[in-house]
Structure 1
Amino acid sequence: MEGVVPYIVAFGSIVITLLILQLDPLRGIPGPFYARWTPLWMIYHSRKGDMHQKMIELHKAHGKLVRTGPNEVSISDPGAVKIIYGAGSKFRKSNWYSVWQGHRKFDLFPERNELVHRAQRRLVSGIYSMDRLKRLEPYVDKALIVLFSKLSELGAKSINMGLWAQLFAFDVIGEVTFSKLFGFMDAGRDDGSFGQIDAALRSAAWIGQVPWLYWAHDTLSPFIGNWLGIGARHGSLRAFAANEINRRKLRGSDHHDILEMLMNVNREKPDELDDTAVLSMATSNIFAGSDTTAISIGALLYYLCKNPECKEKVLKEATEMMKQSRMDDIVPLAIANKMPYLQACIYEALRCHPAVGMSLPRVVPQAGIEVDGQYIPAGTIIGTNPWVIHRNQEVFGEDADSFRPERWLESDRGQLERLFFAFGSGARVCIGRNLSWIEISKLVPSLLLRFEIELTDPEAKPRENCWWFVKQEGLHMTLKPREYAG
């Protein structure tokens, strides 16, 4: 009898496995074998930093639906994407975002309660509107003057343009938020903040796949200390913001920067936007606003250098527009907005290299959803990866893998914009989008007017690390000052 026991156990295991498979509502959705049983597949690729490219590969192999976890599905179906992320959507953010929010009561990006998010966003949305941010254009100009001065000092030698884009974006955030540059461009380096942000991003990317681990760590942290990068999400950045807020309270200011606008709302509605909420918004400006903009600037410059005919078109457009306006200084936003080819290049660069490289996970509501003939029940985590949807040939054409700005100048642009996910979509679109667009629109043509820019090694492909944001490492360019009257 003892010799028969292993066979009985094996047979029983097979039966149990078959029963589980039969009861599994997602069993018909293809994907990595281990992903259907455990979140370890998601954890592995989140830590490795290749999720953006891996998801492109899987969707090319399996189609519009890919199973990425025991209860998680990635989609690339344009119709479903509009339902999930469109206006009035009942698909709420998943627990992945709870790792970002922690115990903070006011945090727009990770807030999962739509009623709370709507009320909070309503308080501050006017501050980040394009009309309001246009008033801060002189603050951006101040940072641009410093950038061009420092780049001119470096002369015609290879520089890490990805680093300088981030130094610039950080200093802009300091100027528009606190009327105070961080001084990173002057120093040519940061103060350790970049490493702190990277550590938080890398940690949250994988911890978000198992949020219970974050909360267990949170409970035990008074006894074991902090072992997670996301546990120190703000650190010195939050301390800097708190110090600037305290100074502003003591001394006041006639500067109409973002902090002053936040504090005005605080004075009018202290019960709705309290001191902690002001601090949260100011800190989030620094944390998120610098990285996304720097990545986008780097991507645009990279694609323009890889496609010199596009770069020349932008330069020609900028030169003609500035001559017509009889201006020879930094390109004003009003002119940049009237440069259709520049704007098309920005859209195309951010389509080819969106800052976010992981799925934007949502929870399927009570009614469930049918995608590509497959019913997906309530409670399932479902989402689309910007890198995947931006390469959907149904939407962006058979050349979706190529950099072709002209697609944004064609008649069906509206459809392209509806599935443009560089800043998210719908009611949860990034609140800092307008500021980022202002910086990119002004910097790139102004830079091209002043410098001849080329990749130091045209054959070298920058390394991409996807830890929520997809950063390019080794974006080396050679800048040669050109004759310019500015």
Structure 2
Amino acid sequence: MSASQPTFVIPHIHSLLTQYFYIVPPAVLVCYILYQRLFHPLARIPGPFLASLTNWWYVHATRTETWHRIVVSLHERYGPIVRIAPNEVSVSTPKAVRQIYPVSSSAFPKSDWYSVFRGTRKVDLFAGQDQRAHGQHRKMVARAYAMDTLKDLEPYVDYCLGMLVEQLDRNVGQKVDMAKWVHLFSFDVIGEITWSANFGFLTAGVDDGTFNTIRAMGRSGSWLGHVPYVFRMHELLKPYIGNWLGINNRHGAIRDFAMRETARRFENPGGKKDLINRFFDAHEKNPEEFTYTDVISMGTTQVSAGSDTTAVSIRAIIYYVLQSPSVKAKLIAEIDKAKRKGELNNPVKHEEAAKLKYLQAVISESLRVHPAMAVNLPRVVPNGGAKIEGHYLPGGTVVGMSAWAVHKDKEVYGEDAYAFRPERWLEKDTTDMNRCLLTFGAGSRACLGRNMAAQQMSKIIPTLFLNYDMELADPEKDWRVECLLFVGQYDMDVTFKRRQDYW
């Protein structure tokens, strides 16, 4: 009898395993779906069905390179709070800005999305998640980004403006891709204000591949942040499979340039008033907390983050002004009037541009209509939870806001919030509108370089319109927009005519 037992038991076990294979996994899946849709703390928050089940819906939406439009349509369809992942929501109401991005504290820390950008760097003011470390490092370098530092940096911007105008003069009467030239300008400015050494892009009329490197980094990092475990797994396997992720380009040519120029300046300080000199000051005062490697990291971040955001913003200003004849006419009239009264130099000084009210309204409106940052700015709800838009979000929930969605709020920006109309910044008190402007982030983690970006925008726009009559080569043709980490614009053809001598 014992000899015949295996012939009975083995088929029986096989039958049980077969039933297990066909029944248990589907049952687990059904239970998971029911939990996420009916019992999860975020179950009552509306949103796409697949978004409530897996982060890969968010990954797919990001990889379409149209997230800036998707997030607006989501809030139009579902309301002010939308579930965009199993444990993440997007909020669009301006009143939530102060709650999620407080100025006086960091109650809502940055989420794990930022970890793929930080990598192993100790100092990263954009991607650092350690609140205490960020506060310390921000204090160390804050002086370098103060308003009174801008005067010391202005000659570097003027030098690059001179190179830009020289190149544009060679193309007067021809069709010029202004998107490209603005990009070259913003990179050379970053090099000048950081190391007193530009990349040579304006002189060459082309970059050295750096633009594609940063685009690959943004394309890769923007979706990897939603599934950071994929990045960590890749890093473990990289010695065997090589590098397959563009996010790791942050260790390439840009950092090599930063290392080379930082070393050159360290050996020959020269009394320059650029940023690297101020970073060296911070290093000398706190050599253990802010190391020489941290100085290099600050320079690298300055290039990879600051140049693209500024370029996107300048392109937006030029494009929307040229698309609107009435705005262009008012802007030129203001610039010409100031010039006739002797209130403008050429190139225009920052303090002069700050007094041109319509110019500043045009800049603010362009930043509102086309903010540079493509992604939501994800934060983590602190322990104890928080109530946002009538919904209780437990501690650990990821919550973020998209500038593209917030800037469309009609309660703050008016019924014509979807339109480009600079006059809205001159018609009433702008406190609420400015508070809700998320172009450079908000709260205690707002971009430190926003004053420098504002300086460059305030100088280049009136200088260009003072010297040139610019028109879109084909007013009916839309520019090409690519939504990665930033919402970059390409193929912006403009024709130039000289208005007067530059000097």
For the aligned pair, the TM-score class normalised by the smaller chain equals: over 0.9
1:70 aligns with 2:83: no
**Would the aligned equivalents of 1:389 and 1:419 in 2 still touch at CA under 8 Å?**
yes
Which amino acid is 1:244 matched to? E
- Deviation, 1:22, is 3.1
Look up the match of 1:44.
60
Query: The residue matched to 1:68 in structure 2 has which SS?
Result: strand
**Would the aligned equivalents of 1:36 and 1:67 in 2 still touch at CA under 8 Å?**
yes
Look up the match of 1:92.
109
1:194 aligns with 2:191: no
Q: 2:277 aligns with which of 246, 260, 263?
A: 260
2: CA distance, partners of 1:438 / 1:367:
41
**Would the aligned equivalents of 1:123 and 1:265 in 2 still touch at CA under 8 Å?**
yes
2: CA distance, partners of 1:435 / 1:18:
50
Which amino acid is 2:403 matched to? P
Which amino acid is 1:320 matched to? K
Q: 1:429 aligns with which of 443, 446, 464?
A: 446
Q: 1:442 aligns with which of 459, 481, 487?
A: 459
**Would the aligned equivalents of 1:65 and 1:76 in 2 still touch at CA under 8 Å?**
yes
Look up the match of 2:163.
146
After superposition, the C-alpha distances for 1:416-446 in whole angstroms (9 at most, x for unaligned) are: 0110100000111111111111111000000
CA spacing shift, 1:369–1:173, aligned 2, 3 Å: same
2: CA distance, partners of 1:404 / 1:416:
13
Which amino acid is 2:37 matched to? L
Matches within 5 A, 1:333-372: 333-372=350-389
CA spacing shift, 1:328–1:32, aligned 2, 3 Å: same
Query: The residue matched to 2:107 in structure 1 has which SS?
Result: coil
Q: 1:408 aligns with which of 406, 410, 425?
A: 425
- Deviation, 1:371, is 2.2
Look up the match of 2:15.
none
Q: 1:282 aligns with which of 286, 289, 299?
A: 299
- Deviation, 1:240, is 1.0
Q: 2:326 aligns with which of 280, 298, 309?
A: 309
CA spacing shift, 1:265–1:16, aligned 2, 3 Å: closer
CA spacing shift, 1:481–1:9, aligned 2, 3 Å: closer
**Would the aligned equivalents of 1:127 and 1:133 in 2 still touch at CA under 8 Å?**
no
Look up the match of 2:39.
23
2: CA distance, partners of 1:8 / 1:134:
69
Look up the match of 2:488.
471
2: CA distance, partners of 1:49 / 1:80:
26
Matches within 5 A, 1:452-471: 452-471=469-488
Which amino acid is 2:113 matched to? W
After superposition, the C-alpha distances for 1:394-421 in whole angstroms (9 at most, x for unaligned) are: 2111110001111111323001011010
Look up the match of 2:193.
176
Look up the match of 1:110.
127
1:324 aligns with 2:341: yes
Which amino acid is 1:73 matched to? V
**Would the aligned equivalents of 1:83 and 1:89 in 2 still touch at CA under 8 Å?**
no
After superposition, the C-alpha distances for 1:226-253 in whole angstroms (9 at most, x for unaligned) are: 1101012141111111111211222231
CA spacing shift, 1:151–1:378, aligned 2, 3 Å: same
Query: The residue matched to 1:424 in structure 2 has which SS?
Result: coil
1: CA distance, partners of 2:433 / 2:344:
33
Which amino acid is 1:26 matched to? L
Q: Out of 14-23 and 238-247, give the one that drifted further.
A: 14-23
Q: 1:58 aligns with which of 70, 74, 80?
A: 74
CA spacing shift, 1:35–1:287, aligned 2, 3 Å: same
**Would the aligned equivalents of 2:258 and 2:300 in 1 still touch at CA under 8 Å?**
yes
Q: Out of 313-322 and 64-73, give the one that drifted further.
A: 313-322
Which amino acid is 2:329 matched to? E
Superposed CA RMSD in Å reads 1.9
CA spacing shift, 1:71–1:179, aligned 2, 3 Å: same
After superposition, the C-alpha distances for 1:264-290 in whole angstroms (9 at most, x for unaligned) are: 221222122210110011111111111
- Residues matched between the structures, number: 484
Question: Among the aligned pairs, what percent are the same residue?
Answer: 42
**Structure 1, unaligned runs of 5 or more:** none
CA spacing shift, 1:12–1:188, aligned 2, 3 Å: closer
CA spacing shift, 1:141–1:485, aligned 2, 3 Å: closer
**Would the aligned equivalents of 1:234 and 1:287 in 2 still touch at CA under 8 Å?**
no
Look up the match of 1:399.
416
Query: The residue matched to 1:375 in structure 2 has which SS?
Result: strand
Which amino acid is 1:216 matched to? M
Matches within 5 A, 1:368-383: 368-383=385-400
**Would the aligned equivalents of 1:449 and 1:484 in 2 still touch at CA under 8 Å?**
no
2: CA distance, partners of 1:9 / 1:199:
38
- Deviation, 1:19, is 4.7
Look up the match of 1:206.
223
**Would the aligned equivalents of 2:101 and 2:442 in 1 still touch at CA under 8 Å?**
yes
Which amino acid is 1:43 matched to? V
CA spacing shift, 1:225–1:259, aligned 2, 3 Å: same
**Would the aligned equivalents of 2:36 and 2:53 in 1 still touch at CA under 8 Å?**
no
Give TM-score, length-normalised by structure 1.
0.96
- Deviation, 1:254, is 2.2
**Would the aligned equivalents of 2:59 and 2:226 in 1 still touch at CA under 8 Å?**
yes
CA spacing shift, 1:8–1:348, aligned 2, 3 Å: closer
Which amino acid is 1:304 matched to? V
CA spacing shift, 1:89–1:326, aligned 2, 3 Å: closer
CA spacing shift, 1:423–1:17, aligned 2, 3 Å: closer
